[in-house]
Amino acid sequence: MITYLDAYISVNSLHFVGNKIADEGILLSKNPIVIDHKLEQKLLSYFLPPFTSEEFYQFHHESDLELNEVYTYASKIFDNKEQLYEQSVNLAKHLYEQSIHPKIKGGEFYTVYFKDCILDGETLDAVGLFKSENKDTFLKVLQENGNFNLQTEKGINIKKLDKGCLIFNKERESGYVVAVVDNVGKGAEARYWLNDFLHVRRRKDEYTNTQNFMTLAKNFVTQELPKELGTTKADQINLLNKSLDFFKDKDTCDIDDFTNEVMIEPDIIEKFHHYKQRCEDDNGTSIDTSFPISETARKKQQRLFKRVIQLDKKIKIVIDGNSKNIEQGTDKKGKFYKVYYTEET
């Protein structure tokens, strides 16, 4: 968890970074920004509150971490914060080189050095990188000679951060602890911030481990089992419910405990292990088999476990309990579901 109540800005630099495909160029300020206390408080409320997720990342590179540009420039800033302006120029140039999708908007690019940020109870320095891509229209009221007039101005809405990241000065050897915000776009133009500019991957912690394992289990039940064994929708939902109950009742996840309590049947357990290995090979990642369960990740993933049978239009059967109370069949009228119950409420 990130806490920023005592955080303050030590150094701050601002440039404009355009779209390279559109040949918009970059505009580099000559010096760091000098801000007063009032403006600092406004900037803090703009930059930091959007970082609410417990999902963290780390810088990486396929061959050598030192070849990750943002990692290297941030490291130089942590070594000597007086280098922030110089490295902010390098960061702006690097961002420009990655801004090659036609839908990427140019905008103001901030490099900020924060003191006294708190991450999971530990007080740390952090380097923040932020980009403002969208401009809102504001009304300005003018009073002249006893009359009021209105005019419009374009400006940055400080209640809506477009893109940002916080690099905490922790775990340097493995790529730092990095928090990311990206509220603009969902297509290829959005991925440039995370993948091309920052070049980060999810940090291996209890949040990521819980998310990865629950996603694996959900996809196995809803995609692999119907294909391999013809598992019915009701039986799929039964396995999803058992999976959710497992993660709700346990403090830690062990793959053997999970498969024995949820999958139960040896044939399904074997298929689950094969499916896990195939996913790891296809994605070039490893999914941990024993880890503490993150309650935050569990609640987030739970919303993605669809436990509804959709029939034709506007007919839904929601199964939160035992699917054995539901029987599927066919007769002269067509397909049907038969529901057994003890009490109507």
Nearest CA to 194 out of 180, 176, 175, 177 is that of 180
Task: Answer yes or no: is 295 within a domain.
Answer: yes
Q: Mean pLDDT in the chain?
A: 89
pLDDT in tens, 15-26: 999 999 999 999
- The whole-number pLDDT of residue 261 equals 94
- The whole-number pLDDT of residue 21 equals 93
Same domain membership, residue 142 and residue 76: yes
Average the pLDDT over 266-289 and give the result.
Answer: 91
User: What range defines the domain where residue 67 resides?
Assistant: 2-202
pLDDT in tens, 97-137: 999 999 899 999 999 999 999 998 899 999 999 999 988 99
Same domain membership, residue 155 and residue 268: no
- The whole-number pLDDT of residue 220 equals 95
Same domain membership, residue 275 and residue 175: no
- Cα separation of 244 and 237, whole Å? 10
- The whole-number pLDDT of residue 246 equals 94
Lookup: tokens for 276: 């896990």
The share of the chain scoring above pLDDT 70, in percent, equals: 93
Task: Answer yes or no: is 62 within a domain.
Answer: yes
Same domain membership, residue 178 and residue 276: no
- The whole-number pLDDT of residue 187 equals 66
Helix (H, G, I), strand (E, B) or coil at 309: strand
Same domain membership, residue 155 and residue 222: no
208 and 288 Cβ atoms separated by less than 8 Å: no
Task: Answer yes or no: is 220 within a domain.
Answer: yes
| pTM beyond 0.85, yes or no | no
Task: Answer yes or no: is 213 within a domain.
Answer: yes
Q: Kindly tell me if the per-residue pLDDT of 93 is higher than 90.
A: yes
- The whole-number pLDDT of residue 303 equals 82
Average the pLDDT over 141-145 and give the result.
Answer: 87
Same domain membership, residue 231 and residue 173: no
Nearest CA to 128 out of 80, 91, 90, 172 is that of 91
- The whole-number pLDDT of residue 125 equals 96
Q: Kindly tell me if the per-residue pLDDT of 42 is higher than 80.
A: yes
148 and 165 Cβ atoms separated by less than 8 Å: no
Task: Answer yes or no: is 345 within a domain.
Answer: no
Same domain membership, residue 318 and residue 236: yes
Task: Answer yes or no: is 344 within a domain.
Answer: no
Domain-ending residue, one of 167, 185, 202:
202
Task: Answer yes or no: is 153 within a domain.
Answer: yes
Domain-ending residue, one of 148, 170, 202:
202
Domain-ending residue, one of 202, 217, 238:
202
| Confidence category of residue 324, pLDDT binned at 50, 70, 90 | low
Same domain membership, residue 299 and residue 186: no
Q: Which residues contact 37 (CB under 8 A, 6 or more apart)?
A: none
Task: Answer yes or no: is 68 within a domain.
Answer: yes
pLDDT in tens, 209-261: 999 999 999 999 999 999 988 888 888 888 998 999 999 999 999 999 999 99
Same domain membership, residue 257 and residue 173: no
- The whole-number pLDDT of residue 329 equals 74
Contacts of 259-265 with CB under 8 Å at 24 or more apart are 262/217, 263/239
Same domain membership, residue 156 and residue 223: no
Same domain membership, residue 322 and residue 263: yes
Nearest CA to 129 out of 150, 107, 144 is that of 107
pLDDT in tens, 168-204: 999 999 999 999 999 876 666 668 999 999 999 988 8
Q: Kindly tell me if the per-residue pLDDT of 27 is higher than 70.
A: yes
| Confidence category of residue 322, pLDDT binned at 50, 70, 90 | low
Q: Are strands 147-155 and 315-318 parallel, antiparallel or unpaired?
A: unpaired
Same domain membership, residue 268 and residue 174: no
Bridge partner list, 337: 328
Residue with tokens 């009032």: 38
- Overall number of domains in the chain: 2
Q: Kindly tell me if the per-residue pLDDT of 342 is higher than 80.
A: no
Neighbours of 63 (CB within 10 A): 6
Average the pLDDT over 159-174 and give the result.
Answer: 94
**Cα 127 from chain centroid?**
19
Average the pLDDT over 302-330 and give the result.
Answer: 71
